[in-house]
């Protein structure tokens, strides 16, 4: 294995993201790109300032930062697992990106490792976004003496957890290869990760409670996940760093050795519904949505979560349903061939209604049993209604993202930018409206109006893309 | 139709920009308010922010709008600015096209 090829491929993947992802859809214009960059940086800065103000207000000078840091340390594993799951599910679709490297003189192992490096840089960016504000505010409030504590409580465990997760993933892939079911990894891996989240979540909660209790009773608490912080506190930063280096030195070669040598393409579709549905246009849209890989992953996540909530007696409204509504991001591009292969594709408004309607069918089909489970658990039906409103609004917004930032087939990264920008705007609007302390009915009317605006822009965007497509065909 | 579309786009852009201004001023007001029981105002008196002590000793934050007029003025100002810039850009584009067509560019 040559390290140079790994680094070169890693650079190629990043170049691909910069050129192909940051220059499409709305981001094609320089002004839009600059505004998006500015908005992201401003949001991160605002997030930092907000976190600093809130922490100074509540924790500054109380001595409570110590146990808070310990609780964060206990939850690092869970957050890294969430980031890893998101990135892993996203990267499952990156076959086309990998194909870029098929005519280059690299081995499968080098390709896998370059991809792992690429993926870890994404996880790092996400972790910086999640823990950056907390780390910076802690150091600003308590002074530079806290830097070693923040390092050993948050960043060292994050690195080790990530390496362990990578090792676990490659071992799982090897097992699937040995069992000859690697083609199904698109389904098996997300299920395993969802199960992992379901197992880790109660443990993290339990650990946090124990840390808080020990602090209240003045006991010293230790758990394996707090190892780096404990070593730093008892002996010094140098020993923690040494342990991190030693464990990484053991884990990285293990990851390299576990990375599989052969590449198996993934199964993309699952056939569930009968084909007679295709007799009607709406039926075709429903089929396209139900058989897609993303739908399968999202539905399996929701099912795993509901079963887990049932077993753990979690009494929560079915917010997990929101997961399946993110399908809207792919709805437009997945059904694009349907509109391209006929001479008259129908009116834009009808096509938009079919797009949104098919997602509504999926939401109802999955929502009924999941809501039934929630109500049996003791959640009142009224508490489930806001979830329905949230899901419908999410379908409309994610369909708009799919139109404004069309995801490329086999290139999942195009979605990230759209989702990131939309989340920032939705959060700012939500926070801004919250300041007004409006009557719930007026708030509902405003949100309904905003959703109508989203529908309007979606139809406008679809019309524009159809016009461009017609001109292309004519030329 | 073109003007209607421009107006709707202007409404959207200025609404989002106003929300960004409101949230940013809220954060800066929070920064300046540290004394308990003192009401601080931000964004030309539009927003107020007041930390106060509750009976059980915890600190509660009260945030709200004391005067909606500055926010409405910011919204209208941004809307007018957007429409003016968009129309000016449109005219410049048309002018450029005309120059190119007549071969004077």
Which pLDDT band holds residue A242 (cuts at 50, 70, 90)? very high
Q: Both A244 and A325 in a single domain?
A: no
The residue among A451, A456, A289 whose CA lies nearest residue A361 is A289
Whether B64 sits inside 8 A of A435 (CB atoms) is yes
Task: Write b or e for each residue in B37-68: b if 16 or more Cβ atoms lie within 10 A of its Cβ, otherwise e.
Answer: eeebbbbeebbbbbbeeeeeeeeeeebebeee
Q: Does A475 touch chain B (CB under 8 A)?
A: no
Residue with token string 């992201």: A40
Q: Both A212 and A146 in a single domain?
A: yes
Which pLDDT band holds residue A411 (cuts at 50, 70, 90)? low
Whether B30 sits inside 8 A of A453 (CB atoms) is no
CA B8 – CA B10 distance, rounded (Å): 5
Boundary (domain end) residue, out of A212, A231, A258 = A258
Whether B23 sits inside 8 A of A57 (CB atoms) is no
Which pLDDT band holds residue A1 (cuts at 50, 70, 90)? confident
With contact defined as beta carbons under 8 Å apart, do A391 and A322 qualify? Answer: yes
Phi, psi at A97, each rounded to 5°: -65, -40
Question: Which structure tokens are listed for A301?
Answer: 């996540």
Q: Does A433 touch chain B (CB under 8 A)?
A: yes
Whether A432 sits inside 8 A of B27 (CB atoms) is no
DSSP β-bridge partners for residue B50: B62
Whether B30 sits inside 8 A of A53 (CB atoms) is yes
Phi-psi region of A271 (alpha: psi -120 to 50; beta: other; left: phi over 0): beta
| pLDDT of A59 | 73
Whether A437 sits inside 8 A of B64 (CB atoms) is yes
Closest CB from A46, A436, A437 relative to B27: A46
Q: Both A298 and A240 in a single domain?
A: no
Residue of A nearest to B28 (CA): A49
Closest CB from B5, B22, B31 relative to A435: B22
Estimate the crossing angle of helix A413-435 against helix A440-474, to 10 degrees: 150
Burial class (CB in 10 A: 0-12, 13-18, 19+), A402: buried
Contacts of A114 (CB under 8 A, 6+ apart): A5, A6, A7, A8, A9, A10, A13, A101, A106
The residue among A133, A97, A127 whose CA lies nearest residue A112 is A97
Whether A435 sits inside 8 A of B30 (CB atoms) is no
Contacts of A240 (CB under 8 A, 6+ apart): A148, A151, A152, A156, A228, A229, A231, A232
How many domains does chain A contain in total?
A: 2
Whether B65 sits inside 8 A of A50 (CB atoms) is no
What is the mean predicted confidence (pLDDT) over A118-136?
A: 84
Residue A340 lies in a domain: yes
| pLDDT of A267 | 67
Q: Both A245 and A385 in a single domain?
A: no
Q: Both A152 and A288 in a single domain?
A: no
Residue with token string 């609004």: A393
CA A414 – CA A328 distance, rounded (Å): 14
Q: Both A134 and A72 in a single domain?
A: yes
Residue A423 lies in a domain: no
pLDDT digits (tens, 9 = 90+) for A66-122: 888 888 888 888 888 888 888 887 777 777 777 778 888 888 888 888 888 888 888
Residue A265 lies in a domain: no
pLDDT digits (tens, 9 = 90+) for B36-71: 777 778 778 888 877 777 777 666 777 778 888 888
Q: Calculate how close chain B gets to A138, using CA atoms only, in Å.
A: 16
pLDDT digits (tens, 9 = 90+) for A247-280: 999 998 898 888 887 777 776 667 777 888 888 8
Q: Under DSSP, is residue B60 helix (H, G, I), strand (E, B) or coil? A: strand
pLDDT digits (tens, 9 = 90+) for A325-356: 888 888 888 888 888 887 777 888 999 999 99
Residue A233 lies in a domain: yes
Query: Residue A180: how many CB atoms within 10 A of its CB?
Result: 9
Boundary (domain end) residue, out of A258, A283, A314 = A258
Helices (H) and strands (E) in chain A, counts: 19, 0
Which pLDDT band holds residue A165 (cuts at 50, 70, 90)? very high
Q: Both A42 and A97 in a single domain?
A: yes
| pLDDT of A25 | 67
| pLDDT of A473 | 67
**Interface contacts A/B by beta carbons within 8 Å:** 50
Preferred mutation among B27, B40, B75 to probe A, highest tally of A CBs within 10 A: B27
Q: Both A294 and A212 in a single domain?
A: no
Mean of per-residue pLDDT scores for chain A: 84
Residue A98 lies in a domain: yes
Q: Both A248 and A391 in a single domain?
A: no
What is the mean predicted confidence (pLDDT) over A169-188?
A: 85
With contact defined as beta carbons under 8 Å apart, do A281 and A354 qualify? Answer: yes
Residue with token string 């917010």: A319
Residue of A nearest to B36 (CA): A57
Q: Does A31 touch chain B (CB under 8 A)?
A: no
Residue A312 has pLDDT above 80, yes or no: no
Boundary (domain end) residue, out of A217, A232, A258 = A258
With contact defined as beta carbons under 8 Å apart, do A318 and A374 qualify? Answer: yes
Q: Both A399 and A466 in a single domain?
A: yes
Helices (H), A144-225: 147-150, 156-178, 185-216
Structural domain including A285 reads: 275-404+436-474
Highest mean pLDDT among A59-63, A99-103, A199-203, A240-244: A240-244
Which pLDDT band holds residue B34 (cuts at 50, 70, 90)? low
Q: Does A41 touch chain B (CB under 8 A)?
A: no
Whether A46 sits inside 8 A of B65 (CB atoms) is no
- Whether the ipTM is more than 0.90: the answer is no
Q: Both A249 and A352 in a single domain?
A: no
Q: Both A247 and A329 in a single domain?
A: no
């Amino acid at each position: 294995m040559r390290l140079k090829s790994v680094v070169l491929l890693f650079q190629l993947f990043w170049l691909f993201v910069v050129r192909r992802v940051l220059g499409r859809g709305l981001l094609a214009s320089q002004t839009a790109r600059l505004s998006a960059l500015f908005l992201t940086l401003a949001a991160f800065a605002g997030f930092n300032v907000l976190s600093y103000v809130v922490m100074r207000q509540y924790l500054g000078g109380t001595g409570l930062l110590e146990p808070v840091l310990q609780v964060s340390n206990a939850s690092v594993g869970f957050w890294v697992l969430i980031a890893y799951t998101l990135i892993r599910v996203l990267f499952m679709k990156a076959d086309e990106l990998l194909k870029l490297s098929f005519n280059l003189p690299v081995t499968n192992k080098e390709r896998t490792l370059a991809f792992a490096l690429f993926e870890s840089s994404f996880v790092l960016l996400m972790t910086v976004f999640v823990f950056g504000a907390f780390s910076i505010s802690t150091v600003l409030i308590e002074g530079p003496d806290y830097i070693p504590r923040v390092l050993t409580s948050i960043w060292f465990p994050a690195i080790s957890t990530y390496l362990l997760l990578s090792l676990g993933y490659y071992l799982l892939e090897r097992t699937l290869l040995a069992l000859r079911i690697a083609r199904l990894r698109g389904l098996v891996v997300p299920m395993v990760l969802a199960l992992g989240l379901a197992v880790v979540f109660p443990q993290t909660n339990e650990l946090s409670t124990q840390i808080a209790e020990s602090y209240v009773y003045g006991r010293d608490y230790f758990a394996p996940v707090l190892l780096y912080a404990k070593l730093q506190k008892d002996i010094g930063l140098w020993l923690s760093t040494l342990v991190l280096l030693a464990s990484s030195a053991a884990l990285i070669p293990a990851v390299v050795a576990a990375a599989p040598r052969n590449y198996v393409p993934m199964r993309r579709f699952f056939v569930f519904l009968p084909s007679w549905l295709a007799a009607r246009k709406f039926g075709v849209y429903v089929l396209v949505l139900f058989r897609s890989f993303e739908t399968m992953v999202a539905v399996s996540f929701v099912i795993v979560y509901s079963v887990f909530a049932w077993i753990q007696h979690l009494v929560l409204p079915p917010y997990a349903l929101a997961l399946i509504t993110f399908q809207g991001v792919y709805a437009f591009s997945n059904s694009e061939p349907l509109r391209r292969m006929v001479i008259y594709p129908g009116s834009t408004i009808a096509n938009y209604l079919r797009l949104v309607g098919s997602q509504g069918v999926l939401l109802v089909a999955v929502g009924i049993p999941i809501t039934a489970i929630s109500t049996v658990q003791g959640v009142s039906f009224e508490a489930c209604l806001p979830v329905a409103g949230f899901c419908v609004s999410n379908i409309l917004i994610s369909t708009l993202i799919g139109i404004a930032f069309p995801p490329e087939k086999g290139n999942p990264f195009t979605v990230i930018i759209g989702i990131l920008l939309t989340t920032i705007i939705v959060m700012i609007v939500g926070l801004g409206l919250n300041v007004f302390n409006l009557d719930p009915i007026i708030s509902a009317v405003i949100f309904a109006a905003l959703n109508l605006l989203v529908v309007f822009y979606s139809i406008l965007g679809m019309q524009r893309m159809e016009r461009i497509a017609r001109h292309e065909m004519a030329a | 139709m073109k003007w209607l579309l421009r107006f709707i786009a202007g409404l959207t852009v200025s609404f989002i920009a106003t929300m960004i201004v409101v949230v940013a001023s809220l954060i800066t007001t929070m920064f300046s308010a540290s004394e308990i029981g003192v009401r601080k105002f931000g964004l030309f008196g539009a927003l107020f922010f007041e930390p106060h002590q509750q009976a059980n000793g915890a600190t509660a934050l009260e945030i709200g709008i004391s005067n909606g007029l500055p926010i409405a003025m910011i919204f209208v100002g941004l809307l007018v600015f957007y429409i003016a810039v968009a129309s000016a850009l449109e005219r410049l584009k048309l002018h450029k096209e005309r120059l190119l067509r007549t071969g004077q560019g």
